[in-house]
Amino acid sequence: MKPVFFPVPGTAIGHVVLLELIRLSRIGSNGFHWINLDCKVSCGTSNGVENQEGTGLPGSIQHVLADARAGVLADALVASGALRVLVDLDVLQRRCDLIGRQWHDERLLHAFVRAQASVPMIRQFFRTATRSTIVRLRREMDVPPPAKPRMPTPREVDALLVRWNGLRDIDDFRERYLALHRECGGVWSLASLFAAVDGAMNPDATSSGCIRSSPNSRESHHVRHAPRPGGQPAAGQKLG
């Protein structure tokens, strides 16, 4: 499948590209890589490859661009349409999607720190956030580390679970905890909410003091989206 390209309009970019070609031609650099996107090779000789590729500028181009007179020809060369910048939309979109997810995860990480999430909670939902990273963010954001989570009473836990269940349409558990924190109006820190909700859903894991590992440990994001805590209900499932 051929990549999707679109041309970037404007003569200014063409001039920049031409000046770089002139500079490289004058220093004798010929490490250019070119692709002929319009080339159609017969099926008998192409081996499935539709585009011709190669390295190095043709000698005639280097001869002209390396000459001192090439500078005055810049406008004419750009106007000829010979210099066009093409953007690979597929590669650019994949890279921007990744960056967008990283920005989203970093925003959530900052929100967790600001809402005084505990280190175990942050490490469970952001698998690459080290303790030193959390300490640095707290210092930069002037957020004190949370004290030992103040546990709600059994009646308060029941009320929190009702609210938690009411937010089940939020698939991302990080967003869901933050929404619960906002609904509580800051009465409870994120550390307290996590201890209450996670403790009610996973009493065995809470009593053992273990942090469950993530099956997404191979994910390559800068800040990873951790899985739902084990035993917690999926969206739409009623709490016990």
Judge if pTM exceeds 0.75. no
How is the chain split into domains, by residue range?
5-83, 94-208
Buried b (16+ CB within 10 A) or exposed e, 9-44: eeeeebeeebeebbebbeeeeeeeeeeeeeeeeeee
Whether the CA torsion 89, 91, 95, 97 is positive or negative: it is: positive
Alpha carbons 75 and 173: distance in angstroms, whole number: 57
Strand, coil or helix: 36: strand
Instruction: Over range 135-154, report the average pLDDT.
Output: 88
Say what the pLDDT of residue 212 is: 45
pLDDT tens digits along 7-46: 666 677 778 888 888 887 887 766 665 666 554 444 444 4
Question: What is the percentage of the chain residues whose pLDDT exceeds 90?
Answer: 30
Which amino acid appears at position 114 of this protein?
A: R
Residue 49 pLDDT more than 60?
no
pLDDT tens digits along 56-108: 677 888 888 888 888 888 888 888 877 777 778 888 899 999 999 999 999 99
Q: What is the DSSP letter of 187?
A: S
Say what the pLDDT of residue 51 is: 55
